[in-house]
A and B are shown apart, each in its own frame.
Chain A
Amino acid sequence: MKFNFWYLSSLTVSIIVIVPILTVFTSFFEDTSNYFKILQQTFFHEYIFNSLTLLIGVIFFTFILGVGSAYIVSFYKFPGANFFKWGLILSFAVPPYIYAYSLFAFFENYGTAFTILKYLFGDGNYNKQIPKFDGMFGLILSISFSLYVYVYILARSSFLYQSQNLIELGKNLGFSKFKSFYSIILPAARPAIVAGLSLVAMETLAEFGAVDFFSVNTLTTGIYNSWIAFDDLAFANRISFFLLLFIFILFLTENLSRKKAKYHSELKGGFKKKEKIKLYGGKSFFAFMFCFILFSLSFLFPLSQMLYWTIKFPENLIDLQIIDLLLNTLYLVSLSSLVLIFFALISNYGNRVSNKKILNILSTLSISGYAIPGVILAIAFITFIAWFDENMIKALGFLSIKKIFIGSILGLVLVYFIRFYSLAFNGIKSGYEKMNIAVDESAYLLGYSKTKTFFNIHIPYLRNSLLFVIILVSLEIIRELPITLILRPFNFETFATTAYISASEDLLEAAAVPSLCLIIIASFFILLTSKYILRDRDE
């Protein structure tokens, strides 16, 4: 009897997560139209081609940037190394869409770059000399500069956990530094890097704001368009099959690599705090420049562009009701974190005390929401609620529930829940896993009941994990765009939606103030997390 509670709550959570995902599929199987036959062929190939190009491009850049910077800051001592260690994660505060706005605005004809050149060298037609970063290449850069942080964080922690032995082994074998890196350090960190890259790939496929801004057609926007604009579910079905195939592969890769990465990082023997190698002269300068340029391009650049606009067009600052937007954002963030934490805790605890296979399967299902792009999740949610309302609630003679779920804070929080549950669940899980099950048992034997054990032993122990999860979820929600855009109630805007709406109306200057606010708040949250993300082994 006792375990049924855990079973039920885990079941509830997974049903909430899975139902909208199933809706995506079932509604796709209603073959509705033969619309746009010719278009389909052309578009279809374009979607796949674009998505692949985008994926490959982003993976290439994030790999170089993430692994490169992680290697430099974990193995070497040079001026500014301690700053870059956490400074480099700040670019996570700049969502790809805001980066896209900055990139476009800086390089467009008569844009910021033009202004700078004119200021420096006087009048002239510089437009032809200024490179243009829009379309696919701009998109790849926008996403890469924001998402390389995933690779950086995971690669760095893997490098840090590598035992000194491994590195000394390279020296003993007489390897050059490059060869050591290439044939020892990199392979040992491979699972962590692959996990990071698969996260990047999933986020790339799910990206909406930047993709929409550069109007590149990817599989995700393809589904969105054929579903929303053409009501062509059959076509959407075909595209989504491919998309989900991509995602499924990525999801598996990520999960497997994560398990392996854990194995690597938990090797106990032979860990010794590594002495970082001090760099001098040209090498030190190179290391510094690599990090400095990366930091400037990924964080300072969009920050300055937004700041520049805010100063140049101050009337936008006055028009915007910053306090309202801030309260809305914080309100969403706190409500969602509470709900997420609550359920993630229950599920984790249920898994821990009952140790049933079925619960494990359910919780694995529950975290799959993260793999589904937000824009698709939001539409699936609306479709499901509408279907449920028509066929169940109204058929039974009750009042419509649509208003409770669509265009309400409740609905918004629910879909955030589906999308970010895996963050909360895994965050708490990794905390729990570090605590031996014998700890619980010895608590029981000391006379603590299960409830007492939970509140007196687990909660205090998980305090840091919980805090970390709250901050991480908050960060995601602050940056989140498509779900908020589609599901928010009347007269309810956040920094992200305001920026997006202005940008989509070709009012990029007006998008600057909300973007700037978003970057500042997100940076603040990142600084709070950096303590946990960057924790060294011995700290």
Chain B
Amino acid sequence: MSNNFLEIKNVSFRVGGKTKVKNVSFNIKNKGDIICLLGPSGVGKTTILRTIAGLEKIKSGSIKLKDKILSSAKNHIEPENRNISLSFQENSLFPHYTVEKNIHLGAEAKKINVKKKVSPKKIIKLLNIEKILSKYPHQISAGEAQRAALARSLVTQPDLLLLDEPLSNVDQSFKEEIQVQLKKLLNNLKITTIVVTHDSYEAFYLGSKCGVILNDQLKQYDDPYNVYHFPNSIEVVNFLNRGILIPAKVTGENSLENEDLGTIKGNFIKHYPKGSAVKLLLQPEDLEHDDKSNLKLEVVDRKFRGTNFIYTLKTATNHLIPVLVHSHHIHQHQVDEKFGIKRPIHIDHIVCF
């Protein structure tokens, strides 16, 4: 007997006779935890949610919730008996009922006890859908429908809430606010949640754990910080797309050498023998700008991100390196100009492959 709230062990997730994600194991330790599954579209994230919800069956491994087997090769508890709520990516509101009735049907169906910590009213208000309560699903926008479906899921106070791209149709301007509110609400209600998303910012913000699914495998399941800073494979690096790999040679216990940048010092998170050729992960925040430095690289692109700039620099060996600069930095560098990089280069944790 384990103490995990949700335990997924060696499950291959299948849909329509085709295996989407192989041999997955991960746990959610405590009630109320929020975890995120991150991956490109079509990789099978939705299949994982559908399987946990009981809409798809499994042929091997097991899924346990609160020490009770939900799915295994032999057992399959029907979705209506799981007390798991799934909010679909597509519109799943009952088309012939108003939004309000939709939300109430959720509560009625499960005969929710009255000792709710958060009333439907509060949820409705929080999700900013008061105005559309009397409307029918075909009369509201996709984003509104998503929030209404989310409200319907929340009022049932499920043991496990599964959110499939919950905010994909919500306006960017409104998204961050909802993310904050959603997280607060889920924490308040202590609803254990799995969020599926392709947006890494969303995943890093919402999840206490984050799983990256690539090429039919769960590549990494870890704290968001670790996933970002200590990606365990080149695929994860490529997927997160927030750094590049440059060739380097290990020159000592905490130093390596790159043709263009020279010596780089820092702490290896993994041991490499001296002299081995590696690929070094270089993320935008690893290098610092210094106008006075004699290490100058050519600017090929500049992205204004509001709080910061990301400069893309070209090295002599034609590698493109991203460097982050605070937005208030005194002057800006134009494309084709030279850009100085502070030396000596020090990176807190050196990730190599």
| A and B directly contacting (CB within 8 A) | yes
Name the CB-closest residue of A to B137: A439
The distance in angstroms between the C-alpha atoms of A253 and B258, with both chains bound, is: 67
Q: Contact: B88 with A447, CB < 8 Å? A: no
The stretch of A4-12, A137-145, A430-438 that contacts the partner chain: A430-438
B-facing residues in A20-37 (Cβ within 8 Å): none
Q: Contact: B79 with A445, CB < 8 Å? A: yes
In the assembled complex, which residues on chain B have CB atoms less than 8 Å from the CB atom of A446? 80, 85, 105-106, 109-110, 152, 156
Is B227 positioned at the interface, with any CB of A under 8 Å from its CB?
Answer: no
Number of interface residues of B (CB under 8 A): 29
Contact with B along A441-466 (1 / 0, CB 8 A): 11111111100000001001101000
In the assembled complex, which residues on chain A have CB atoms less than 8 Å from the CB atom of B80? 444-449
Tell which of B83, B86, B156 has the most Cβ of chain A within 10 Å. Answer: B86
Contact of A436 among B84, B86, B90, B106 (CB under 8 A): B90
The distance in angstroms between the C-alpha atoms of A445 and B110, with both chains bound, is: 10
In the assembled complex, which residues on chain B have CB atoms less than 8 Å from the CB atom of A448? 80, 109
Q: A446-B109, A446-B156, A461-B95 are in contact. Are A441 and B79 (CB under 8 A)?
A: yes
In the assembled complex, which residues on chain B have CB atoms less than 8 Å from the CB atom of A435? 95
Name the CB-closest residue of A to B91: A436
In the assembled complex, which residues on chain B have CB atoms less than 8 Å from the CB atom of A447? 80-81, 83, 109-110, 156
In the assembled complex, which residues on chain A have CB atoms less than 8 Å from the CB atom of B79? 441, 444-445
B-facing residues in A344-383 (Cβ within 8 Å): none
Is B92 positioned at the interface, with any CB of A under 8 Å from its CB?
Answer: yes
Contact of A439 among B82, B85, B94, B156 (CB under 8 A): B94
Is B78 positioned at the interface, with any CB of A under 8 Å from its CB?
Answer: yes
Classify chain A: how many residues form its interface, as a range.
10 to 19
The distance in angstroms between the C-alpha atoms of A309 and B139, with both chains bound, is: 52
Contact of B55 among A439, A444, A457 (CB under 8 A): A444
In the assembled complex, which residues on chain A have CB atoms less than 8 Å from the CB atom of B110? 446-447
In the assembled complex, which residues on chain A have CB atoms less than 8 Å from the CB atom of B86? 441-442, 445
The distance in angstroms between the C-alpha atoms of A460 and B54, with both chains bound, is: 25
Q: Contact: A441 with B78, CB < 8 Å? A: no
Q: Contact: A439 with B109, CB < 8 Å? A: no
A-facing residues in B64-123 (Cβ within 8 Å): 78-88, 90-96, 105-106, 109-110
Nearest Cβ in chain A — how far from B75, in angstroms?
Answer: 16
Is B149 positioned at the interface, with any CB of A under 8 Å from its CB?
Answer: yes
Is B28 positioned at the interface, with any CB of A under 8 Å from its CB?
Answer: no
Nearest Cβ in chain A — how far from B87, in angstroms?
Answer: 8
Nearest Cβ in chain A — how far from B279, in angstroms?
Answer: 43
Q: Contact: A441 with B156, CB < 8 Å? A: no
A-facing residues in B150-164 (Cβ within 8 Å): 152, 156
Q: Contact: A438 with B92, CB < 8 Å? A: yes
Q: Could you tell me the dominant secondary structure of chain A's interface residues? A: helix
B-facing residues in A107-163 (Cβ within 8 Å): none
The distance in angstroms between the C-alpha atoms of A218 and B90, with both chains bound, is: 52
Nearest Cβ in chain A — how far from B258, in angstroms?
Answer: 49
Nearest Cβ in chain B — how far from A433, in angstroms?
Answer: 12
Name the CB-closest residue of B to A460: B96
Contact with A along B262-274 (1 / 0, CB 8 A): 0000000000000
In the assembled complex, which residues on chain A have CB atoms less than 8 Å from the CB atom of B6? none
Contact of B90 among A434, A438, A457, A463 (CB under 8 A): A438
Is B53 positioned at the interface, with any CB of A under 8 Å from its CB?
Answer: yes
The distance in angstroms between the C-alpha atoms of A26 and B86, with both chains bound, is: 53
Contact of B94 among A444, A449, A461, A463 (CB under 8 A): A461
Nearest Cβ in chain A — how far from B115, in angstroms?
Answer: 18
Name the CB-closest residue of A to B93: A439
Q: Contact: B84 with A442, CB < 8 Å? A: no
Tell which of A434, A436, A443, A445 has the most Cβ of chain B within 10 Å. Answer: A445
Contact of B92 among A434, A436, A461, A463 (CB under 8 A): A436
The distance in angstroms between the C-alpha atoms of A445 and B88, with both chains bound, is: 11
Contact with A along B111-150 (1 / 0, CB 8 A): 0000000000000000000000000000000000000010
In the assembled complex, which residues on chain B have CB atoms less than 8 Å from the CB atom of A460? 96
The distance in angstroms between the C-alpha atoms of A438 and B156, with both chains bound, is: 17
Q: Contact: A439 with B78, CB < 8 Å? A: no
The distance in angstroms between the C-alpha atoms of A460 and B105, with both chains bound, is: 14
Q: A446-B152, A447-B110, A449-B80 are in contact. Are A441 and B96 (CB under 8 A)?
A: no
Nearest Cβ in chain B — how far from A457, in angstroms?
Answer: 6
In the assembled complex, which residues on chain A have CB atoms less than 8 Å from the CB atom of B87? 442
In the assembled complex, which residues on chain A have CB atoms less than 8 Å from the CB atom of B78? 444, 449
Name the CB-closest residue of B to A463: B96
In the assembled complex, which residues on chain A have CB atoms less than 8 Å from the CB atom of B85? 445-446
The distance in angstroms between the C-alpha atoms of A449 and B109, with both chains bound, is: 10
Q: Contact: A445 with B91, CB < 8 Å? A: no
Q: A444-B55, A448-B80 are in contact. Are A461 and B88 (CB under 8 A)?
A: no
Tell which of A434, A438, A442, A449 has the most Cβ of chain B within 10 Å. Answer: A442
The distance in angstroms between the C-alpha atoms of A238 and B156, with both chains bound, is: 66
The distance in angstroms between the C-alpha atoms of A446 and B152, with both chains bound, is: 9
A-facing residues in B321-342 (Cβ within 8 Å): none
Q: Contact: A461 with B96, CB < 8 Å? A: yes
Name the CB-closest residue of B to A464: B96
Tell which of B53, B80, B83 has the most Cβ of chain A within 10 Å. Answer: B80
In the assembled complex, which residues on chain B have CB atoms less than 8 Å from the CB atom of A436? 90-92
Q: Contact: B95 with A441, CB < 8 Å? A: no
In the assembled complex, which residues on chain A have CB atoms less than 8 Å from the CB atom of B93? 439
Name the CB-closest residue of B to A442: B92
Nearest Cβ in chain A — how far from B40, in angstroms?
Answer: 21
Name the CB-closest residue of A to B138: A434
The distance in angstroms between the C-alpha atoms of A530 and B91, with both chains bound, is: 29
The distance in angstroms between the C-alpha atoms of A435 and B92, with both chains bound, is: 9
| Residues of B near any A CB (own CB < 8 A) | 50, 53-55, 78-88, 90-96, 105-106, 109-110, 149, 152, 156
| Given contact pairs A439-B92, A448-B109, a sample of 16 additional A-B residue pairs in the complex whose CB atoms are under 8 Å apart | A436-B91, A436-B92, A438-B88, A441-B88, A441-B92, A442-B88, A442-B92, A442-B152, A443-B109, A444-B55, A444-B78, A444-B80, A446-B80, A447-B156, A460-B96, A461-B95
Which 3 residue pairs across A and B have the least CB separation, nearest first? Answer: A438-B92, A444-B79, A442-B92
28 A–B contacts from the bound complex (CB under 8 Å): A435-B95, A436-B90, A438-B88, A438-B91, A438-B92, A439-B92, A441-B50, A441-B53, A441-B86, A441-B92, A442-B88, A442-B92, A442-B152, A443-B94, A443-B109, A444-B54, A444-B55, A445-B80, A445-B82, A445-B86, A446-B105, A446-B106, A446-B156, A447-B83, A447-B109, A449-B78, A460-B96, A461-B96
